[in-house]
Amino acid sequence: MSTRATTYRHHASAVLKLGLPLIGSHVAQFAITLTDALMLGWYSVEALAAEVLGGTLFFVLFIMGSGFAWAVMPMVASARAAGDETQIRRVTRMGAWASILFGLACLPFMVKSAPIFRALGQDPAISDLAGQYLSIMGWGILPALLVMVLKSYLAALERTQVVLWVTVAAVGLNVAVNHALIFGNWGFPELGVRGAAIASLTVNTASLIALAIYAARVQPDHALFQRVWRADPEALAQVFRLGWPIGITNLAEVGLFAASSIMMGWLGPLPLAAHGIALQVTSVVFMVHMGLSNAATVRAGQAHGRGDLTALRDGAAVVLAMSIAVALATVVLFLAVPEWMMGLFMSPDEPDRAAVIGIGVGLLAAAALFQLVDAGQVMALGLLRGVQDTRVPMVMAAISYWGIGVPASYVLGFPMGLGGAGIWLGLAVGLACAAVTMLARFWGRAVRAPTPAS
């Protein structure tokens, strides 16, 4: 076997060892939202549509705030490669500080969200239900963001198994509490969307406690929770400089999908419900790419810390090939069994089942078109974050998603009359622009000079 082939096999083995538990934890984390959608879909179409609206706003704010947590990952990986244990503690603590401050700023928008949805042209009844959901679920942004900080810290230390198992346990807890509170089983009150919100808040809090206990015990030398109230302005500034562009980039991408949800709501509750189900299906696959992207961030961060260009380049090629293979398999799946996947989310007795599934089949066909570009853009982001290059990718994301993707969705969906399928085709256009520009930046600039971007 050639030296190059051996090198690629070594990188593939390292990525899988690190990435598989991360993939599992991301899929399990998303399964919390997925089970909410599944169980609310069996409760009623209106409850599902409300969860789509409320969950979209929560996810937009959550993913934006996660920029500070994701900044922790490459910074801890680089500090670990350089043997700087003190820096590991400093950036992790200040990542938690930044996340808490962001979460507190977001709370008013979620606790009083119903008027926001009505102002965006959504159905008044669905808006009120979504507001009820977020008045409870919104408080979960604080533990959810802190969970992301600890996950990034543990992933950078390559301690990903515990992240997986804590998240799997959280899914089971979510299903149990949903079963009790959405439908009123086991003597509990029937709370519908509010029951799902209580379940998610409970799960996020329990996950935070479990990960905090593990982090304190497995790395006592890092002393993460000692004098955690003490500010570290220098480290906070470092986390902020790297994290805010990641947050804006996240906002640009997830905002693209949020805008698509708003536009689908203009078409009515049934298209919105179908859109919500299709998003759940596509997001499961996206979590696989996200796990590989996180592994790419850690591996690139380690190579960056060592100044090893060859390892950076070869590792990037391997992880991109893995992501492309997953995308191609997904295309086949979306085109082969769309009715079955859509049908999982609705009761056989639901009067609107056939109409929702019919709309969803068209959406999944459109989703099949953007699997490769979606994989490409998330992998490029992971690699660029590994070499701590975040500001220019932020601009690229904003232009691709909002300057191109959102207008394309509107034009294809409404003036051109393609409806929901047109909206999703516009998503593909925005994702393609992001993938091309970001991959070109990584291979053309970051690989040749892996230094933090100014």
- Mean local confidence (pLDDT), 203-207: 91
Q: Which of 31-35, 154-158, 393-397 is predicted most confidently?
A: 393-397
Would you say 362 and 274 are in contact if contact means Cβ atoms under 8 Å apart? Answer: no
Half-sphere exposure at residue 202, Cβ-oriented, CA atoms within 13 angstroms = 17
Average pLDDT over residues 42-56: 81
DSSP characters over 158-194: T--HHHHHHHHHHHHHHHHHHHHHTTT-TT----THH
Whole-structure pTM value: 0.73
Res. 37 pLDDT band, cuts 50 70 90: confident
Out of 4-8, 342-346, 368-372, pick the least confident: 4-8
- In the predicted model, what is the mean pLDDT of residues 278-288? 82
Q: What is the mean pLDDT of residues 358-365?
A: 87
Whether 193 contacts 133, CB under 8 Å = yes
CA angle in degrees (0–180, nearest 5) for 117-361-257: 35
Q: Calculate what percentage of the chain has a pLDDT beyond 70.
A: 96
Residue that has been written with the tokens 């930044």 in this structure? 98
Locate tokens 């937009």: which residue? 60
Residue 43 has pLDDT above 70, yes or no: yes
- The pLDDT value recorded for residue 1 is 45
Average of per-residue pLDDT across 190-209:
89
Query: What pLDDT was estimated at residue 177?
Result: 92
Contact between 300 and 383 under an 8 Å Cβ cutoff? The reply is: yes
For the segment 192-201, the average pLDDT, to the nearest whole number, is: 88
Residue 284 in this model has a pLDDT that exceeds 50: yes
- pLDDT score, position 312: 81
pLDDT tops 60 at residue 205: yes
Tell me how long the chain is.
Answer: 454
Pick the closest to residue 72 from 149, 147, 142, 145 (CA basis).
Answer: 149
Closest to 454 measured CA to CA, from 382, 391, 387, 385: 391
What per-residue confidence (pLDDT) applies to 267?
Answer: 85
Task: Dump pLDDT digits (tens) for 225-262.
Answer: 777 778 788 888 888 888 888 888 888 877 787 788 78
Between residues 309 and 66, which one has the greater pLDDT? 66
Residue 102 has pLDDT above 90, yes or no: yes
Burial status of residue 173 (CB atoms within 10 A of its CB: 0-12, 13-18, 19 or more): middle
Quick one: CA torsion of 305, 24, 201, 123, rounded to 10 degrees? 110
The whole-angstrom separation of Cα 270 and Cα 360 is 10
For residues 112 and 209, what is the distance between their CA atoms, to the nearest angstrom?
28
3-state secondary structure of 91: helix
User: Counting beta carbons within 10 angstroms of the beta carbon of residue 121, is it exposed (0 to 12), middle (13 to 18) or buried (19 or more)?
Assistant: exposed
How would residue 448 be classed by pLDDT, with cut points 50, 70 and 90? low
Cα–Cα distances (Å) from 450 to 244, 306, 382, 439, in that order, read 20, 10, 14, 15
